[in-house]
Each structure stands twice: as structure tokens, then as C-alpha cells.
């Protein structure tokens, strides 16, 4: 009887330790999934799909303004035919809104140590930040980089935007973005 009681106690302690280990493994698995997500949907990849969206998408403005030229979002065969005003930015912002996301303007609070950083992400309560200066470009706001799991609905919206911008060119997002501009 005494040994059965010891076995029961051992089983109880073992189960507690095993349960905690499973919880730790699930947390580690989700952290790895998030790192993989940000590898495939980084700010650098955003810039690439913006290029595809401007050049290849069926409804794209195919803007050739100075800003799109600087950001390499234009077809190099159209260099002679430059637009005075950017037609890509309003089109891109419309696509963001169609996916149920928001754009912030004149945001401060650049964060330098996030997985999605190339140009940086911002401590702004929006999905995208329109980084204005000499040239228009976009980065991520807290509603995207603040997600805790890859199943977060906000990250699903980002996936949807990437698919919209690349679908006409039939560029697969599975396994990362195919760099058509290198």
C-alpha cells in the first residue's frame, strides 16, 4: 500500500512537470512561428510587394513619379514618362483600407529592435505608418507588430494585402516572397 501511494505521488508530480514542459514547448513554437512570419512579411518584403503592386497588379496605377522612381516602384522602361504627382500612394492606401487596416500619418516613436525592421516599425496605434519626408514610404504600426500569434486577425489582413498586391503576377507567398527585383 505504501509503494502504491508513492507511485501516485510520483505520477502526480511527473504530470505537473510534463504539463509545464508542454506549455513551454507551445510557447516556444509560437515564438518561432512569429519569427518565421516576420521573416516573410518584413518591412523589406512590404517594399517588394509594393513594387509588384505598382508594376504588375491589374488595377495598379503604374506610377512613374519621382517618389516611385526613388523607391524603385516603377517599370524602368517607363523612365521617360514620369508623372508629376504620385498616383501609387492613394491607390496603395485604398488597398490597405479594403483589407480593413488603417494608416497613420506623421507618427513618431521609431522602434529599432523588432523582427520586422528594415526601415523600422513605429509605436503608433495603426497598421501602417506613412513615413513622409523627401519620399513616401510605409512601415508597420503597433496593430501589426504587436500581434502575439500568427493566428492574429491583424496579421491575416497583412497576408491578404500581400496576396492582393502579388496575385496578378502569380507570385507565391508560400515560403517567402520571390524577389523579382534582385
**Per-residue pLDDT of the chain in tens (182 residues, 90 and over written 9):** 577 777 777 777 777 777 777 888 889 999 999 999 998 998 888 988 888 888 776 777 888 887 887 777 776 665 556 667 888 889 999 999 999 999 988 777 666 555 544 456 778 889 998 877 556 688 888 899 889 899 999 999 999 999 988 875 544 444 444 444 44
For 132, list phi and psi in degrees, rounded to 5. -100, 155
Q: How far is CA 159 from the centre of its chain?
A: 7
Sequence spans of domains, the chain? 41-169
Q: What is the C-alpha R_g of the chain?
A: 22
Supply the pLDDT for residue 175: 43
Supply the pLDDT for residue 180: 45
Supply the pLDDT for residue 172: 44
Q: How far apart are CA 115 and CA 107, in angstroms?
A: 20
Supply the pLDDT for residue 17: 75
170 Ramachandran zone, left/alpha/beta (phi>0; psi -120 to 50): left
The three grid cell numbers given for residue 118, joined into one nine-digit string: 528594415
Supply the pLDDT for residue 135: 61
Dihedral, CA of residue 108, residue 112, residue 115 and residue 119, to nearest 10: 70
101 Ramachandran zone, left/alpha/beta (phi>0; psi -120 to 50): beta
The three grid cell numbers given for residue 67, joined into one nine-digit string: 517618389
Amino acid at each position: 500500500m505504501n509503494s502504491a501511494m508513492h507511485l501516485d505521488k510520483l505520477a502526480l508530480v511527473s504530470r505537473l512537470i510534463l504539463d509545464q514542459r508542454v506549455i513551454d514547448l507551445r510557447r516556444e513554437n509560437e515564438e518561432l512561428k512569429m519569427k518565421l512570419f516576420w521573416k516573410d512579411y518584413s518591412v523589406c518584403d512590404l517594399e517588394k510587394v509594393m513594387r509588384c503592386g505598382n508594376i504588375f497588379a491589374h488595377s495598379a496605377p503604374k506610377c512613374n513619379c519621382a517618389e516611385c522612381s526613388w523607391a524603385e516602384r516603377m517599370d524602368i522602361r517607363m523612365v521617360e514618362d514620369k508623372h508629376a504627382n504620385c498616383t501609387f500612394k492613394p491607390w496603395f492606401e485604398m488597398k490597405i483600407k479594403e483589407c480593413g487596416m488603417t494608416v497613420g500619418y506623421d507618427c513618431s516613436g521609431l522602434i529599432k529592435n523588432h523582427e520586422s525592421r528594415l526601415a523600422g516599425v513605429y509605436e503608433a496605434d495603426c497598421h501602417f505608418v506613412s513615413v513622409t519626408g523627401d519620399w513616401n514610404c510605409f512601415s508597420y504600426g503597433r496593430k501589426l507588430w504587436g500581434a502575439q500569434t500568427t493566428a492574429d486577425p491583424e496579421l491575416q489582413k497583412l497576408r491578404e494585402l500581400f496576396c492582393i498586391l502579388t496575385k496578378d503576377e502569380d507570385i507565391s507567398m508560400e515560403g517567402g516572397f520571390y524577389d523579382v527585383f534582385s
